[in-house]
Amino acid sequence: MRKKIAIAVLGMSLLMLNSCISSRSSRAMRKAERMMEKQERQAKKDYQKAKTAHYEHQAPKTKQMIKEDKKRARELNRHLRRY
């Protein structure tokens, strides 16, 4: 009888301990995910800043060509969306 009670108490304590450990790891996971999202947002900002700076350094004729290419690509992609 005592063995059964001891096993039950041991099992319950292991379950309680396991739930505490998993909550700590999930907090760490959430913190790591938030940090990764922040880094991704910063990387996107840096990329857009570099892209804008690159565009600003181009000659006016090149800028016009880029605009025309974007327009042409939009028109072509519009036809592809139907399928």
Q: Which residues are CB-neighbours of 63 under 8 A, at least 6 positions away? A: 55
Residue 81 lies in a domain: no
Domain with 47, as residue range(s), is 2-57
Task: For residue range 9-46, list pLDDT tens digits in order.
Answer: 777 777 776 666 656 678 888 999 999 999 999 999 99
Residue 78 lies in a domain: no
Residue 62 lies in a domain: no
Please state the domain count of the chain: 1
Residue 16 lies in a domain: yes
Residue 15 lies in a domain: yes
Residue 69 lies in a domain: no
Q: What is the pLDDT of residue 28?
A: 86
- Beta strands (DSSP E) in the chain are none
Task: For residue range 61-72, list pLDDT tens digits in order.
Answer: 999 999 999 999
Residue 67 lies in a domain: no
Residue 53 lies in a domain: yes
Put simply, whether the predicted model's pTM sits higher than 0.85 gets the answer no
Q: State the Cα–Cα distance between residues 11 and 23, nearest whole angstrom.
A: 19
